[in-house]
Structure 1
Amino acid sequence: MYLSKETNALLDKLKSSGGVEDICFIKACPYAIKQTRLEKKICTLSPCELDLDSISVDNEFFYGKYGIELALYVPYDFGSPVAFDDMERIVRAAMDDAVCGIKLSTVLKDSTTECYKVKAVLTFSLSYCREA
Protein backbone atom coordinates (compact mmCIF):
# COMPACT_ATOMS: atom_id res chain seq x y z
CA MET A 1 0.00 0.00 0.00
CA TYR A 2 1.35 3.42 -0.84
CA LEU A 3 2.10 5.73 2.08
CA SER A 4 2.33 2.71 4.41
CA LYS A 5 5.19 4.20 6.40
CA GLU A 6 3.34 7.49 6.90
CA THR A 7 0.04 5.78 7.75
CA ASN A 8 1.79 3.49 10.26
CA ALA A 9 3.55 6.47 11.87
CA LEU A 10 0.23 8.29 12.41
CA LEU A 11 -1.39 5.06 13.65
CA ASP A 12 1.39 4.56 16.21
CA LYS A 13 1.16 8.20 17.30
CA LEU A 14 -2.60 7.98 17.88
CA LYS A 15 -2.36 4.63 19.69
CA SER A 16 0.20 6.01 22.14
CA SER A 17 -1.44 9.42 22.59
CA GLY A 18 -3.11 10.30 25.87
CA GLY A 19 -6.70 11.49 25.80
CA VAL A 20 -7.95 9.07 23.11
CA GLU A 21 -7.28 5.71 24.75
CA ASP A 22 -11.01 4.87 24.71
CA ILE A 23 -10.92 4.64 20.88
CA CYS A 24 -9.54 1.62 19.00
CA PHE A 25 -7.30 2.63 16.06
CA ILE A 26 -6.77 0.26 13.10
CA LYS A 27 -5.68 0.44 9.46
CA ALA A 28 -8.61 0.31 7.05
CA CYS A 29 -9.11 -2.89 5.11
CA PRO A 30 -11.30 -3.83 2.13
CA TYR A 31 -15.00 -3.75 2.87
CA ALA A 32 -16.41 -6.96 4.28
CA ILE A 33 -19.65 -7.62 6.14
CA LYS A 34 -19.04 -8.52 9.77
CA GLN A 35 -21.28 -10.80 11.81
CA THR A 36 -21.06 -8.70 14.96
CA ARG A 37 -22.36 -5.29 15.91
CA LEU A 38 -19.78 -2.71 16.96
CA GLU A 39 -19.83 -2.11 20.69
CA LYS A 40 -16.85 0.22 20.94
CA LYS A 41 -15.54 3.22 19.06
CA ILE A 42 -13.36 2.33 16.06
CA CYS A 43 -11.23 4.71 13.99
CA THR A 44 -9.78 3.46 10.70
CA LEU A 45 -6.81 5.06 8.93
CA SER A 46 -6.05 4.85 5.22
CA PRO A 47 -4.01 6.84 2.71
CA CYS A 48 -6.25 8.90 0.44
CA GLU A 49 -4.31 11.58 -1.46
CA LEU A 50 -0.86 12.07 -2.90
CA ASP A 51 0.06 15.20 -4.85
CA LEU A 52 3.72 15.65 -5.80
CA ASP A 53 5.34 18.16 -8.17
CA SER A 54 8.86 18.08 -9.54
CA ILE A 55 10.97 21.09 -8.60
CA SER A 56 14.12 20.10 -10.49
CA VAL A 57 15.09 19.88 -14.13
CA ASP A 58 16.04 16.22 -13.88
CA ASN A 59 12.81 15.24 -12.05
CA GLU A 60 14.71 13.77 -9.11
CA PHE A 61 13.24 15.96 -6.34
CA PHE A 62 9.54 16.24 -5.60
CA TYR A 63 7.61 18.26 -3.04
CA GLY A 64 3.95 18.10 -2.29
CA LYS A 65 1.31 16.82 0.07
CA TYR A 66 -0.28 13.57 1.08
CA GLY A 67 -3.48 12.87 2.97
CA ILE A 68 -4.53 10.23 5.45
CA GLU A 69 -8.23 9.66 5.97
CA LEU A 70 -9.57 8.84 9.41
CA ALA A 71 -13.07 7.37 9.65
CA LEU A 72 -14.52 7.21 13.15
CA TYR A 73 -17.39 4.83 13.89
CA VAL A 74 -19.30 5.44 17.12
CA PRO A 75 -22.16 3.04 18.02
CA TYR A 76 -25.59 4.69 18.20
CA ASP A 77 -25.69 4.05 21.97
CA PHE A 78 -23.01 6.72 22.54
CA GLY A 79 -24.89 9.47 20.66
CA SER A 80 -23.91 11.71 17.75
CA PRO A 81 -22.32 14.54 19.80
CA VAL A 82 -19.80 12.01 21.12
CA ALA A 83 -18.71 11.19 17.55
CA PHE A 84 -17.82 14.82 16.80
CA ASP A 85 -16.17 15.34 20.20
CA ASP A 86 -14.09 12.17 19.75
CA MET A 87 -12.97 13.22 16.27
CA GLU A 88 -11.89 16.58 17.69
CA ARG A 89 -9.79 14.75 20.31
CA ILE A 90 -8.26 12.53 17.61
CA VAL A 91 -7.33 15.52 15.43
CA ARG A 92 -5.77 17.28 18.42
CA ALA A 93 -3.75 14.13 19.20
CA ALA A 94 -2.52 13.92 15.59
CA MET A 95 -1.51 17.57 15.29
CA ASP A 96 2.14 18.40 14.78
CA ASP A 97 4.28 20.64 12.56
CA ALA A 98 3.89 18.37 9.51
CA VAL A 99 0.08 18.79 9.37
CA CYS A 100 -0.76 21.48 6.82
CA GLY A 101 -4.48 20.89 6.34
CA ILE A 102 -7.53 19.36 8.01
CA LYS A 103 -10.96 18.56 6.54
CA LEU A 104 -13.83 17.28 8.67
CA SER A 105 -17.13 15.84 7.48
CA THR A 106 -20.44 16.19 9.22
CA VAL A 107 -21.63 13.39 11.50
CA LEU A 108 -23.70 10.92 9.48
CA LYS A 109 -25.75 7.85 10.39
CA ASP A 110 -24.26 4.71 8.84
CA SER A 111 -26.99 2.06 8.82
CA THR A 112 -24.60 -0.64 7.58
CA THR A 113 -22.48 -0.42 10.74
CA GLU A 114 -25.28 0.92 12.99
CA CYS A 115 -22.93 3.73 13.98
CA TYR A 116 -22.49 7.43 13.67
CA LYS A 117 -19.67 8.10 11.23
CA VAL A 118 -17.45 11.15 10.92
CA LYS A 119 -14.45 11.47 8.61
CA ALA A 120 -11.36 13.63 8.70
CA VAL A 121 -8.57 14.05 6.17
CA LEU A 122 -5.24 15.19 7.57
CA THR A 123 -2.91 16.66 4.95
CA PHE A 124 0.84 16.53 5.47
CA SER A 125 3.79 18.11 3.65
CA LEU A 126 6.11 15.70 1.86
CA SER A 127 9.49 15.91 0.14
CA TYR A 128 10.59 12.97 -1.96
CA CYS A 129 13.86 12.18 -3.68
CA ARG A 130 13.82 9.51 -6.36
CA GLU A 131 16.75 7.17 -5.87
CA ALA A 132 18.94 6.38 -8.86
Structure 2
Amino acid sequence: MTASFLMPISFDPKYVAIAVAEERLTFENLKKTKEFTLNICSKEMKEKAIICGSYSGREKDKFELAKIEREKSKIVKPSLIKESPISFECKVEFMNKFGDHWLVVGKVVEEHVRNKEFSPLLHKSKNILLSF
Protein backbone atom coordinates (compact mmCIF):
# COMPACT_ATOMS: atom_id res chain seq x y z
CA MET A 1 0.00 0.00 0.00
CA THR A 2 1.13 3.52 -0.68
CA ALA A 3 -0.14 5.59 2.24
CA SER A 4 -0.36 9.34 2.04
CA PHE A 5 -2.36 9.81 5.24
CA LEU A 6 0.08 9.10 8.06
CA MET A 7 1.52 10.73 11.17
CA PRO A 8 3.42 10.02 14.36
CA ILE A 9 1.20 10.30 17.45
CA SER A 10 3.54 9.45 20.36
CA PHE A 11 7.29 9.39 20.97
CA ASP A 12 7.31 7.23 24.11
CA PRO A 13 6.11 4.66 23.46
CA LYS A 14 6.22 5.15 19.71
CA TYR A 15 2.87 5.13 17.92
CA VAL A 16 1.98 6.00 14.33
CA ALA A 17 -1.38 6.45 12.65
CA ILE A 18 -2.39 5.77 9.07
CA ALA A 19 -5.71 6.18 7.29
CA VAL A 20 -6.89 3.47 4.90
CA ALA A 21 -9.98 3.19 2.70
CA GLU A 22 -12.13 0.16 3.48
CA GLU A 23 -12.11 -1.11 -0.12
CA ARG A 24 -8.31 -1.43 -0.20
CA LEU A 25 -6.52 -4.77 0.03
CA THR A 26 -4.39 -3.18 2.74
CA PHE A 27 -7.49 -2.78 4.92
CA GLU A 28 -8.31 -6.49 4.55
CA ASN A 29 -4.72 -7.38 5.46
CA LEU A 30 -4.73 -5.06 8.49
CA LYS A 31 -7.94 -6.63 9.81
CA LYS A 32 -6.56 -10.13 9.28
CA THR A 33 -2.97 -9.80 10.51
CA LYS A 34 -3.17 -6.81 12.90
CA GLU A 35 0.36 -5.91 11.74
CA PHE A 36 1.95 -3.60 9.18
CA THR A 37 5.21 -2.00 8.19
CA LEU A 38 5.60 1.68 7.47
CA ASN A 39 8.45 2.38 5.04
CA ILE A 40 9.36 6.03 4.57
CA CYS A 41 10.18 6.96 0.97
CA SER A 42 13.05 9.18 -0.09
CA LYS A 43 12.89 11.44 -3.14
CA GLU A 44 14.87 8.79 -5.04
CA MET A 45 11.94 6.41 -4.56
CA LYS A 46 9.40 8.72 -6.24
CA GLU A 47 8.82 6.61 -9.37
CA LYS A 48 8.46 3.44 -7.30
CA ALA A 49 5.92 5.18 -5.03
CA ILE A 50 3.92 6.32 -8.06
CA ILE A 51 3.88 2.76 -9.45
CA CYS A 52 2.79 1.31 -6.11
CA GLY A 53 0.09 3.95 -5.70
CA SER A 54 -1.28 3.30 -9.19
CA TYR A 55 -2.18 -0.39 -8.83
CA SER A 56 -4.00 -2.64 -6.41
CA GLY A 57 -2.15 -5.56 -4.88
CA ARG A 58 -5.15 -7.63 -5.98
CA GLU A 59 -4.18 -7.04 -9.61
CA LYS A 60 -0.39 -6.97 -9.61
CA ASP A 61 2.63 -7.70 -7.44
CA LYS A 62 3.73 -4.15 -6.65
CA PHE A 63 7.15 -5.25 -5.42
CA GLU A 64 7.86 -6.94 -8.74
CA LEU A 65 6.31 -4.19 -10.85
CA ALA A 66 8.27 -1.37 -9.15
CA LYS A 67 11.43 -3.48 -8.73
CA ILE A 68 11.37 -3.12 -4.95
CA GLU A 69 13.59 -5.40 -2.88
CA ARG A 70 11.92 -6.92 0.17
CA GLU A 71 13.63 -7.29 3.52
CA LYS A 72 12.42 -9.71 6.20
CA SER A 73 11.00 -7.99 9.26
CA LYS A 74 12.35 -8.95 12.70
CA ILE A 75 9.01 -9.09 14.55
CA VAL A 76 5.98 -8.69 12.24
CA LYS A 77 5.07 -10.74 9.17
CA PRO A 78 4.75 -7.98 6.53
CA SER A 79 7.98 -7.27 4.62
CA LEU A 80 10.11 -4.16 4.82
CA ILE A 81 11.35 -2.19 1.83
CA LYS A 82 15.12 -2.58 1.82
CA GLU A 83 15.91 0.78 0.18
CA SER A 84 13.65 2.76 2.50
CA PRO A 85 15.76 5.09 4.67
CA ILE A 86 13.56 4.42 7.71
CA SER A 87 11.10 1.57 8.33
CA PHE A 88 8.83 0.79 11.25
CA GLU A 89 7.37 -2.58 12.20
CA CYS A 90 3.97 -2.00 13.81
CA LYS A 91 1.22 -3.90 15.60
CA VAL A 92 -2.33 -2.56 15.28
CA GLU A 93 -3.76 -1.31 18.58
CA PHE A 94 -6.79 0.68 17.39
CA MET A 95 -9.02 0.91 14.31
CA ASN A 96 -12.02 3.20 13.87
CA LYS A 97 -13.92 4.53 10.88
CA PHE A 98 -13.93 8.28 10.23
CA GLY A 99 -15.80 9.34 7.10
CA ASP A 100 -14.55 7.36 4.10
CA HIS A 101 -11.36 6.07 5.76
CA TRP A 102 -10.38 3.99 8.76
CA LEU A 103 -7.88 5.40 11.24
CA VAL A 104 -5.37 2.70 12.17
CA VAL A 105 -3.06 3.25 15.13
CA GLY A 106 0.01 1.06 15.32
CA LYS A 107 2.52 0.61 18.12
CA VAL A 108 6.06 0.64 16.73
CA VAL A 109 7.66 -2.62 17.88
CA GLU A 110 10.86 -2.35 15.81
CA GLU A 111 12.59 0.52 14.03
CA HIS A 112 15.10 0.32 11.17
CA VAL A 113 17.15 3.45 10.48
CA ARG A 114 19.29 2.92 7.39
CA ASN A 115 19.90 6.58 6.56
CA LYS A 116 19.24 9.56 8.85
CA GLU A 117 20.09 12.13 6.18
CA PHE A 118 17.56 11.96 3.34
CA SER A 119 14.96 14.06 1.54
CA PRO A 120 11.52 12.60 2.33
CA LEU A 121 8.93 12.13 -0.37
CA LEU A 122 5.72 13.97 0.53
CA HIS A 123 2.22 13.71 -0.94
CA LYS A 124 0.65 17.09 -1.72
CA SER A 125 -2.43 16.05 -3.69
CA LYS A 126 -3.50 13.46 -6.23
CA ASN A 127 -0.54 12.73 -8.51
CA ILE A 128 1.63 15.47 -6.96
CA LEU A 129 4.59 14.23 -4.91
CA LEU A 130 7.08 16.64 -3.36
CA SER A 131 10.53 16.23 -1.85
CA PHE A 132 12.64 18.62 0.19
TM-score surpassing 0.5? no
Structure whose CA Rg is larger: 1
Higher relative contact order (CA 8 A, sep 6+): 2
- In proportion to residue count, which structure has more helix? 1
